Structures are given as C-alpha cells and as structure tokens.
Structure 1
Amino acid sequence: MSKVSYDVSNGVAILKMCNPPVNSLSFGLRKDLLAAVEAARADAAVNAIVLIGDANGFCAGADINEFSTGGAAKSPNPHEVHFSIELSEKPIVAAIHGNCMGGGFELAMCCHYRVATEDAKLSLPEVKLGLLPGRGGTQRLPRLVGLEMATNMIVSGEPVAASVLGELGALDQVVPADKLLESALAYAAKVAELRPIPLASSKKVKHPDYEGYLGFMRNSLRPAAASNPAPLKCLDAIRAAVEQAFKAGLETEERIFQELMCTPVSIALRHYFFAEREARHIEGLGDDVKPLSIRSVGIIGAGTMGGGIAMNFLNAGIPVTILELKQEALDKGIQVVRKNYQIQVDKKKLKADKLEARMALLSGTLEYESLSGCDLIIEAVFEDMGVKEKVFRELDRVAKPGAILASNTSNLDVNTIASFTKRPESVLGLHFFSPANVMKLLEIVRGDKTSLQALATAMELAKRIRKVAVVAGVCDGFIGNRMLGPYLMAAAYLVEEGASPQQVDRALERFGFAMGPFRMGDLAGGDIGLAVRKRKVAEDPNFQYPQFLDQVAEMGRYGQKTGKGMYLYQGRNAEADPDIDALLESYRLEMGIEPRAISDDEIISRCLLALANEGAKILEDGIAARASDLDIVYIYGYGFPAYRGGPMHYASSLGLNEVALTLRHIANTARGNRAQWEPARLITTLAEQGKTFSSSSHQ
C-alpha cells in the first residue's frame, strides 16, 4: 500500500503523506513520494500540486534509524526527491500543519510555495543530535529568511512560530488550522500559471557584513563547542550558502554532515534520542491493555515533594487534593505552590490568569475521607516504612475500588508497601525527583503484583504530565539510587585516599555532570545520607563506607540548609571550608592513611565505572529492561551529560574488556569493599563476546 495518496481536485493534485506515526522520511515514503510527484508532473489534468501530511502532521523529519543502517543514502535519497519537487514544471505548494521539523522542513523548503497553519511547529533541530541539517537546510533556509534568522534557527534547533516565518517570506500564507487544505488548494490554483516558478535554491543570501556576523556568532558559540561541536560546524556550512553556488554549498554541507556523524558526541546524542523513545516500550504492555482515566488526584503530604508533585497535575488541568495532618502545614504547603507559580508569572513564563486557574484546581484537607473519590492517590511522606504503613492502611480503607495507590518512595520496598493493602495489584511506586515540578524523570516502580492496567495508567499519565518515564523493578534504590550508592562511595573513598571534595566535584563537573557528588550531597542534605547509611548498616552489618561522612553529618553540617556541609555556603554558593580540610587530615592520620596525589582521570574512571558496574548488576537482576533505560535515568535524574550518552553508553564506548580490566585493577588497589569492584557477570560475558551493552539482549 502506498504511503502517499493521490487525488485531483479542479486541476490540483493532492499528495497526502501517510507514514505513521510522524511521517518520517524513510525510504518507503521517499519512494512513494517521488513516484507521486512524477505522476502529477506527467498528468495532463494537473496544473499544480499540493503536498500535505495526514492527521499526524506534515513531516517530523528524517528516519534517524537510517543514519546508522545506511538507509538514508538508498535511492531515492532525500536530494533526489527534493530535486524532483524543485524542478517540477508545475508549482508545488507545501501545506504544513503539526510538526514540520528537520528533514520535513527541508522538504517544505524545496516546494515552490508554503502555506502553514497558525500552530504549525517549524524547526531544524539536528544540532541537538550533534549534527547539522544535512539535506539542504543550511543552504536553503538562509536564502529564504536571511542569514541571521537562519543562523539562529540552525544553531539553536529551536522552533519558530509560523507567523514569524510568514513575515520573513519563508511562508506564503499562514491560515487557521481548519482552513489548511482549502487554503492550499486555492493558493495552488492562484499560482498555477505564474512564471517563473520561485526556487529557494536560486536566491542569493544578502548581508551587509556576513563575515562580521558569522565571526560574532562563532565567538558566542565557542565556549560550548567542547560539549557539542555541531553549532560551530553549522556556521561553516552557512558560510558556504553565502560564498558558494548552491550545488557547491550542498557538497560542503554533506561533507560536514558526514564528519559530524562520526563524532563521539553525535553518536552519544543519537543513542540518547533513541533511548528515550525505547523506554516507552514495556514488555507485555500491548494496545489491548487500556489505561484507567485519571480525573482527580490525591496527595498525602504538603511538603516540598508533595507540593511539587501537585504542580505537575495542576499544570495538566487535573484537580488535586492535598492531605496534611495539621492546618498550619497544609496552609504553608498551598502557599508554597502559589509562590512557585508567582515566580513563573514574575519571569513572564506564566500568565496571571493561568496561575489562578491552576490554583482553583487545588484544594486541601485534613481528612482521609476527602480522598475517597480520587482516581490516583500519591503518598509523599517521610521515608520511613512505619510511616508508610500507617498511610497505606488508611488509603486502603478510604480509597474507592480501582483507585491507584502510589508511593513516592526513593528506596523502600514497594512490595512491602503494597502488602499493607488488600489491593496490591493497584499499588506501584511513582518516584518523582526533586524539585518535582521541574525534573523530567519519573521512575515507575512495578511491584510483583502490580497489574498491567495500573502500569499502563502510570505510563500514560507520565506522558500527560510531560515526564520521561522509566520502569524499574523492586530493589533497594530501584535504578537511580541503587546506582548512586556505589558512585558516592567511590567519591568518598577517593577523598579518604587523598583527594579533596572540591577536586572530586571539579573533575566530574568538567566531565559534564551538572553537579559533583559532594555538592549534590549538600543539596540533598547530610542528614538524609546519614539516615541511609545507618539503615544500610542495620540491614547489612558488613556494609562499609568512609566514616568521615558520618563525622561531618554528626556535627550538624547538613549542607545548604544549615549553611555548612562538605562546603561553606553563602546562599547557594559553595566555598571550600578549612575546617573540612582539618577534619580530613585528622581522620586520615587516625586511620593510618598516607594521602596520595590523585589525578582527575582516576576520579572520573572510578566514579563512572562504579555507576556502570552497578548498572550491569541491575540488568542481571532484571530490575531494568534495557541498558539504555539506565542512561535515561542518569541523564534526566542525576545530571549526567547527555552528550556523553549516559553511564552505560559511556562504558560501552570505552570497550567492556577495558572496563573489566580497570575494575579488577581498582579492586586490587582501592580502599573499601573489594567485592564492590569485581566486574559484574554481564560485563565479563559481553566483553568475552566482543559486545557492548547496546548489542546485548538487555538493550
């Protein structure tokens, strides 16, 4: 069945692309589109042509899977399709709605005229994959909208409103969404006899001082070039649009595109792109499993987490009822939600009427019975199993049949929590990350008895509140915090052996982390870390860790909230503290440790391999479905740099045989629990087979 339908209306051929879900320009669509264009060019009954997408939008771009399979070069390649359109003797009008991105926008620019809906989203986002628009985008867009607008669009990858592009001449008409086809047909009929037919490729790029402008942009973009070389390379291609003939410019663009395709940054960013999409696929969760409708949400706890969680649902237009035990705590929590919205209003990120509309959806209560009508109830109370038990027994008593009961726990056993109810099939974990109204990650924790319907509901709800969801099984810490433990211990033992907290943080921040482990610990709170360590010792008397961590916390140095932790704080500004230096010197002396010089490379190696090794054990235990899920958790939840692809991708890029050898070396030389550093069985197996995490059955 053809992916492009062909109809004729009053002398205008209508070519409708239909390649679900987003009309990506895969080989099949290109082949059928080229055939349809050629048929319309040869059809004596056709005077003009309209190219339009189906209900899913115009075209969301290239099929990125083809970048690694070679399918993008398969004939007809995009350039062949573009030239057939551009050289048509009959004018072709692109009718644009929905997403018109990347290769889709490049396709539209090949058409002679463009009509778009007011809400159409047009962009060239390839730079976000470490690439440039490689199918004429860097050559045609400057010719259509001018050098400065084109450069800004290409190096940022951000969408531009149809109204703006219309004013600049890239769009010939901007019309209401329900008038698109009608308007495009009328426009096609209007221009059917006009000659010459306008070609983007025949225009010249004019600018009074293009060298000065591109030099200014180069200086502006250079600081970020270490993490993504693509924006600077885009400038090279854009310069070609100014200085070279169109065909030569295309050749320059293609050469740079192929160079970028091979860079570690682009490989990592493309991995991250696919990993996010793959995380949505849950084994056993087919189209036959229908999610429940969530029309109202209850939240237990009006503290920082509870209020932040509530905002996600209010933003999506879902009514929320927050429960607290005391009126004072309830009033304070609701006021904090209002304050957070007011900050957005003050920054002009939210209109005042939207603030009031969202607050109107929020109500408070001191009675569990007020939650009896909620479709979903989320517990966000203190991380203590005894407290959780009291809450879930009450929820089991008052919640209506079929309501989903969720815990925001970050570490505790969801199966145990489910056992406090008579409906374990309706219980799961929804681990939001702080601040919950900002962080995009949502760990969905699937209990042993969690139903497929409850899981499907959580996945659908995550999409509705614009979270990136990753499903985890039940274990201590699930995915993120389980991996975090060995990472933090690796950092702490490095300090015990001679590094300073500042050196460890600086090394990892230079690698690309948003925040080093000690600054992160001070932000979370030293008391939290102390409680976790005490719990682990109670559960496992053999659990080992550097005792200076407890010494710091037991001095009341809990981090930012007390003004002192591993650092001194003036507001959020962290400064080295001589008292910590003295404490560490005394501690090492007492422990008989001779401090040694430690390189930044060793810091990065030990901390990152601690993450990857524990991640491999998580995969062995079946806690996660695939290695790339772990990468998504760390990129979205823990500040791992996206341009490194995540800890599992990074380990794969080193070579798993090298990873196994390095882990064994660390096991023989580092302080602490040697067994923690023994390579996971999955790592050694994949290394012996010459495979990576992404080529294993776990990916």
Structure 2
Amino acid sequence: MTEYSVKDSVAIIQLDNPPVNALGSKVRSGIDKYIKEADRDSSVKAVVVCGKRGNFCAGADIKEFDGGKKGPWITDIGDYFDKMKKPVVAAIEGVALGGGLELALFCHYRIAVKSARVGQPEVAIGLIPGGGGTIRLPKAAGLKNALEIITTGNHVSAEKAHKMGIIDQIVSGNIIEEGIKFAKSKVHLDTSIVCLRNKHVKVDGDVDKVAEAAMAKVKSKYRGAMAPIYCVKSVMNSVRVPYQKGIELEHEYFQDLRSSSQSKAMRYAFFAERAITKWQLPSGGNYRTAKPLPVKTAGVIGAGTMGGGIALCLITSGIPCVLVEQNKEFLDKGMEAVKMQLMGTVRLGKMAENQAKQCMAILKPTVNFEDLKNVDLVIEAVFEDLKLKRDIFERLDKMCKPETILCTNTSTLDIDSIATATKRQEKVVGTHFFAPSYIMKLLENIYGTKTSAETVATVMKLGKTIRKVPVLVGSCTGFVANRMLGPYSQEAKYCVEEGASPSNVDNTLMDFGMPMGTFQVSDLSGVDVGFRIRREAARKAGETLTTKSRFFMGERNCSLIEALVEKGRLGKKVGKGWYKYDGPRGKPVVDPEVTQLIEEHCRSLGLERRTIGSQEILERMQYAMINEGFKILEEGLCTMPEEIDIIWIYGFSWPKYMGGPMYYASQIGLKKIYEKICYFHKTFPYSAHWVPSSLLAKLSKNDVPFNKWGQAVQGSKL
C-alpha cells in the first residue's frame, strides 16, 4: 500500500492504493513507518512523498468512516513532519484532494505538474476536512481563498493553487525526478521557516466581517446543510485560536458531522452514484459484457433551448457536432444562443476565450438533414409530438450509416413507439436531458424492448464524457423522473385548492431543503407549458379541459392552471404567474390577485377550504412520490432504489443531505409510510397515486432493511 526507496540521498515514499491512492489506514501506517525510517537514516537528506499511477491521492477511504480509528490519523503523521529537520516535499500529479491535500499541507514544500488539481471536497459528503485542512490551508492560501475552497468543495488547478500559495512550484517532466531535484535544493534550509504550523494566516479585511459574510453566504447557498456552516466555523478558528486548539476543535467538528444523519445520507449518495453505473437490462445485457461504440462525431436535431444546450454539452467535451434546424431563421437564433452561453462561461472564468473558439469551430450549423449521414450518434431534440419524432427517425434510419445510434430526447413518449419507425430498433434509445441541458447534470437514459446492451453502454459512457450523471431506466409514460413528479406536483395543487397558499407550499419545501418551491418552478418554466401539456394529454384522451372540469382522466381535476392562463398569468417571463415579479431577475412576491383567484375558483366548485399545515403538505407530496417510486421498482423500470435517488438529487435538486426520496423513506420507516399512504388512499380515493404499492407493502411487512431492497426488487414477481 506504501512503497519506500532511496535515490541520491532522497527517500521516496510512494502511495500505492489503486485506483486513486485513497488514504486508508494501511496507507497511513505505511507513511508513518517510512517517514520515521527516513528521519533516522543519516544517509537520507530529504524526503519526497508522491503517488503511483500518475496520481497523488484522492483523499481518505470513505468506507472506513463508519468504523473506529484505525492506524495513525493524518494529524498524527503531520505532527511528526512538523518536527523534522529534513525537508519533506509533496510531489503532486493527478489530484491531491481531501486527505491527500492535507497530507501535502503537512509537507514543507509542494510541487505539482501543470495538469494537477487540488481541493478539499469533504463538504460534498457532509463533512469538514478532518486532518488539519481547515487550519493549515488558510495559512497557505489566505483566509478568503481557504473559505471558498473548503465551503464549495471545488477543485483548484495547479496554476491557480500556485498563485494562491498552496503550490510552491509548477514543474514538468517526471514528477519523482523533479521532486528529488527540488528536495535536494532545500536540504540546507531551516524547515521551521516554511512549516505551515508556524505561519500566520493572510487576512484581507476585518476578520469578523469576513466570517459574517462567509456564514451568510453558505446559509443562503446551502440552505439547511450543516457541513458548510461547520466549515466556516473551523476555518475561522485558524485566526481566532492557537494552532493546536484549532486542530482539536476541527477534530470535534469532524466527529460530530461524521455521526450526523446528514453526512450518512451524503455518503450514501456518494456510493449510490457509483452503484448506478452497474446497470443491467431485463434481456441480460449489463455493464460488464457490453462494449460501448466510439462516438467521434454526433448530430443534434433542433437548435432550440434544449437542442442548443445538448450541442453545447457535446462540443465543450470535444465531440464535433452537426446541429440541424428546419430553417435558417431558427438556426441563426439557436447559434446565437450557443455563442452567448459560451461567452458567459468565459466571463465566469470557467473557460478561456480560445477554448470557446475551438468549441465553435467543431460545431457545424446546417439546415441540410443529409449532413447527419456520417455521424456516429444522433440526438433528436424536437418538441413532444410522436408523429413528428417517428417521421424523423424513419428518415434517419434510411440515411444514417448502419452503426449510427439514434437517440430521442423525449421526456414522456414510449421509446418503442419511436423505435418501430426504424429497422434498427436495437440502436434506438432515449436520452432525456433536463433543462437547462447545458447546466443540469442528470441524463435519464431509457431503453426500449429491443435496445441492445451495446447501445446502452454507448449512451452511458457518452453521459460521463459530457460530464453528466447517467441513469438507466425502463420505458413508460414519464419514465422515472416525470412519472414521480406527477403525483408530487398534483398533491401541491390539491393542497392549494383545499386551503394552503402557493407560498405555504413553496416555503414548506424550501424549509425542507429544496432550492425552489414547486410553484416557483412552474413560474420559471412557464405556467403555459404545464397548461399545454395538460391540454395535449386531454386531447389524446378525448377530453376537454376547462376551469369547470371536475375530473381529468379519471381523477379529480385541479384546474387552477387553466384559471391562471385565462388571466394571462403565464409565469416569470410576463412578470406574473403564481406570484408576481419585478423584472426578469425579480423575486417571487405573493400577489393578492392570485389569492382572490384561488378563493373564487374554489367557491365556484363548492370546495370548502381549511388550514393545512406544513407536515401534511410534506407528507402528501413526498409520500405520493415515494409510493410511485416503489411502483417503478416493482415494475422493474429501475433495478435499485439508488437509481431513483440519484435521479431526484440531480434532476430536481433534492437535498443530498437527505439522501434521496427512497433513502429518506428508509429513515422514516416503511411501516409508518405504508400506513400513512393507506390513510391517504382512504381519504382521497379519487387519486390513483394513493393506491399502495404492493412492493412497499411487502417490504414494510417483512421489515426488509434498505440495503436489501435491490435484492428484493430483483427477486420479486409482483
């Protein structure tokens, strides 16, 4: 796990714990053993700490967090480094993250190759750096830089880290040779001068004001999350208390968070994101046996908001893209939007201007459908019309080369209904991007009856390539994301009809941890969008929707959307929807006109309103959605609850510190949830989404633990 050698009077301690050299107990024990051996050896004049396989260290071994202390802790090793007279150099390539960066900060010097990255991402799993990072990073990078790095968990490039003072020198060539050369140049210098323990923290501005601003920022940005608050507290200790006291407090904070429900949920989400890569098809194909096809070129049909965003995902990942529109006017408008988005990325400092130009150089705009004939993969991104999509796929099937994969960015339509328009059903797959497609990380990949494992492997790999989180699901109306969103949103509207206000519902959801309430989301996307979806569903069902319609597709109809559209309240784009807004950047404000509209609407339907509390709102919205999640599992559309949780975390910004709706259900207790769902089914018999899931009933009755749900799903024949 750790290797030791001596070359040119320099000891080399090399971390060897594949795949990322995680700082597990055996690795730490090895470092502790060999640093003392190097210190005792009079022939050794300096030490270089590095990693094998082109990587320094990606952090601690998270699997060890739930056990007791095993081996020396990072600070125990670091205390020994601090006392050494021989210079210790961290030679970094790949990444130095979390415990990896903390190990490097205990070294007297740090060198790195230009491509390396450093960071403290512990906040992403509900923790603070627990190996001295919150106390030593401010001494290297300054207070404000350390606060930004630690509270966001973002990675920092080696060049930027060099400017901050984290890295002492950027090098090229063999990292070990460079480390030896650098270490030998420092042999005769006093290590106590460069030891971070002895350095003062650079503070720009008043300490209390910096702390106040940082705390306000994390409370606003990470609403409800504990770890960012603890991060600020611990970093501020670097300037408020003596070094050793700061280390002790950091350890206390770390232990408090490690045992918290939030960190446990976030660690679950961390492993869930890795578990979903182990996909399988009902036909037997899986991630082990299927080899993805190369995607060297791609095409996108439709240059609207969604299609243009998908094209951006491709070209910013280095994949040349042909962007097709039906006429030049629409194409030019789409291209202008792509350019504006790229320039916005440049302004934010996330991309250099020359990189943006390189991206545009591999994007080919065209109104000629034939330009798609040689691409490896096509993503159709036109509006939700089955006939239109079938026509497009029939045309693609005849024109594209036989190995080309045909993808549809549908959010609701059955994949087989589109695939049967082709003679290559095995190469047809759904790739459901979420708006805005350039920003949102979720990619819901949907297989049809005939979709091959090779095709699935290709789009799953493509998702990773374009920096998405791909999840594989089966085909049904709404798939997993929108199918679960349906009862969740419907219950929100029922609650408003029965007595709650839109702001009651939204504030309840945001207090729970959602970044936005459901009615704010409706205003942002456009109230008329929901109206058109409902109208189209009614048309297909042979029904006519009005504000007086009492039932819709066999269920009680909530026609408040129709009432809003009649009043011209189409959402934020027109300054009024469920709320009113002062300009495009305005915040939602409760509008008395909406309150009156709701009350008049309910009176006209003879609905008696009552007081509805936050607990009822949460239970009705979340339990309806959770019940649907269990139905999805029992139908085999997902193979594990982790897939549902990741969809909600990355598709709808469910708070990661709650672990996703299925994990959340396991924490509440299935028996309690099942009994409540049965109660709601009896109370609201007109809603099909309250019919209890038979899988939920089975798991509840048998008290099956969460880590066995996947086995129960795959073994059940419900």
Q: TM-score, normalised by structure 1?
A: 0.90
Please state whether the residue corresponding to 1:60 is helix, strand or coil. Answer: coil
Aligned partner of 1:528 in structure 2 is: 532
Please state whether the residue corresponding to 2:185 is helix, strand or coil. Answer: helix
Structure 1 residue 140: deviation in Å?
Answer: 2.9
Structure 1 residue 507: deviation in Å?
Answer: 2.3
Please say which of residues 323-332 and 164-173 is displaced more in the overlay.
164-173
Is 1:47 matched up with 2:51?
no
> What does the per-residue CA deviation read over 1:231-253, in whole Å, with 9 as the maximum and x for residues that have no partner?
33334434554565544443322
Aligned partner of 1:428 in structure 2 is: 429
Aligned partner of 2:179 in structure 1 is: 184
Aligned partner of 2:414 in structure 1 is: 413
Alignment of 1:50-449 (within 5 A): 50-70=48-68, 73-83=69-79, 85-87=81-83, 90-163=86-159, 165-166=161-162, 170-176=166-172, 178-195=173-190, 200=195, 202-203=197-198, 205=200, 212=208, 215-217=211-213, 220-221=216-217, 223-224=219-220, 227-238=224-235, 240-242=237-239, 246-283=243-280, 284-286=285-287, 288-345=289-346, 350-449=351-450
Unaligned runs of 5+ in 2: 544-551, 714-718
Change (3 A) 1:560 1:692: farther
Please say which of residues 420-429 and 663-672 is displaced more in the overlay.
663-672
> What does the per-residue CA deviation read over 1:263-291, in whole Å, with 9 as the maximum and x for residues that have no partner?
33323332332222322222354455322
CA contact (8 A) 1:446 1:455 kept: yes
Aligned partner of 1:545 in structure 2 is: 557
Please say which of residues 240-249 and 500-509 is displaced more in the overlay.
240-249
Alignment of 1:29-40 (within 5 A): 29-40=27-38
Equivalents in 2 of 1:272, 1:340: separation in Å?
30
> What does the per-residue CA deviation read over 1:590-630, in whole Å, with 9 as the maximum and x for residues that have no partner?
33221111112221221111221111111111112321222
Structure 1 residue 378: deviation in Å?
Answer: 1.0
Structure 1 residue 106: deviation in Å?
Answer: 1.0
Change (3 A) 1:487 1:399: same
Please state whether the residue corresponding to 1:191 is helix, strand or coil. Answer: coil
1:611 to 619, 625, 634: 625
Change (3 A) 1:545 1:219: same
Aligned partner of 1:658 in structure 2 is: 672
Please state whether the residue corresponding to 1:697 is helix, strand or coil. Answer: helix
CA contact (8 A) 2:118 2:155 kept: yes
CA RMSD of aligned residues (A): 3.1
Aligned partner of 2:494 in structure 1 is: 493
Structure 1 residue 560: deviation in Å?
Answer: 4.3
Alignment of 1:619-638 (within 5 A): 619-638=633-652
2:658 to 632, 639, 644: 644
Change (3 A) 1:4 1:298: same
Change (3 A) 1:369 1:646: same
CA contact (8 A) 1:91 1:197 kept: no
CA contact (8 A) 1:686 1:693 kept: no
Change (3 A) 1:566 1:115: closer
Structure 1 residue 395: deviation in Å?
Answer: 0.8
Equivalents in 2 of 1:47, 1:173: separation in Å?
20
CA contact (8 A) 1:131 1:230 kept: yes
Structure 1 residue 108: deviation in Å?
Answer: 1.1
> What does the per-residue CA deviation read over 1:187-244, in whole Å, with 9 as the maximum and x for residues that have no partner?
2223345455667364154678986356545653574475223333334434554565
Tell me which amino acid in the other structure corresponds to 1:228. A
> What does the per-residue CA deviation read over 1:434-489, in whole Å, with 9 as the maximum and x for residues that have no partner?
12122121111122221222111111111111111111111111110010111111
Structure 1 residue 694: deviation in Å?
Answer: 4.7
Equivalents in 1 of 2:171, 2:140: separation in Å?
20
Equivalents in 2 of 1:89, 1:207: separation in Å?
25
Change (3 A) 1:313 1:243: closer
Please state whether the residue corresponding to 2:710 is helix, strand or coil. Answer: coil
Equivalents in 2 of 1:205, 1:238: separation in Å?
13
Equivalents in 2 of 1:9, 1:211: separation in Å?
46
Change (3 A) 1:286 1:545: same
Change (3 A) 1:696 1:187: same
Please say which of residues 315-324 and 159-168 is displaced more in the overlay.
159-168
Q: TM-score, normalised by structure 2?
A: 0.88
Change (3 A) 1:262 1:353: same
Alignment of 1:432-471 (within 5 A): 432-471=433-472
> What does the per-residue CA deviation read over 1:334-364, in whole Å, with 9 as the maximum and x for residues that have no partner?
2332333344455565544444332232223
Equivalents in 2 of 1:80, 1:300: separation in Å?
58
CA contact (8 A) 1:144 1:200 kept: no
Equivalents in 1 of 2:537, 2:504: separation in Å?
24
CA contact (8 A) 2:73 2:131 kept: no
Tell me which amino acid in the other structure corresponds to 1:393. E
CA contact (8 A) 2:224 2:511 kept: no
Please state whether the residue corresponding to 1:475 is helix, strand or coil. Answer: coil
CA contact (8 A) 2:128 2:231 kept: yes
Change (3 A) 1:49 1:665: same
Unaligned runs of 5+ in 1: none
CA contact (8 A) 2:211 2:236 kept: no
Tell me which amino acid in the other structure corresponds to 1:686. L
CA contact (8 A) 1:140 1:200 kept: no
Please state whether the residue corresponding to 2:44 is helix, strand or coil. Answer: coil
Structure 1 residue 304: deviation in Å?
Answer: 1.9
Is 1:14 matched up with 2:15?
no
CA contact (8 A) 2:139 2:199 kept: yes
Change (3 A) 1:270 1:31: same
Equivalents in 2 of 1:98, 1:216: separation in Å?
35
Change (3 A) 1:218 1:695: farther
Change (3 A) 1:436 1:509: same
CA contact (8 A) 2:201 2:238 kept: no
Aligned length: 693
Structure 1 residue 538: deviation in Å?
Answer: 5.3
Tell me which amino acid in the other structure corresponds to 1:434. A
Structure 1 residue 116: deviation in Å?
Answer: 1.9
CA contact (8 A) 1:60 1:104 kept: yes
Structure 1 residue 576: deviation in Å?
Answer: 4.4
Please state whether the residue corresponding to 1:49 is helix, strand or coil. Answer: strand
Please say which of residues 685-694 and 115-124 is displaced more in the overlay.
685-694
Tell me which amino acid in the other structure corresponds to 1:668. K
Change (3 A) 1:202 1:487: closer
Aligned partner of 1:696 in structure 2 is: 709
Change (3 A) 1:299 1:590: same
- What is the aligned-residue identity percentage? 39
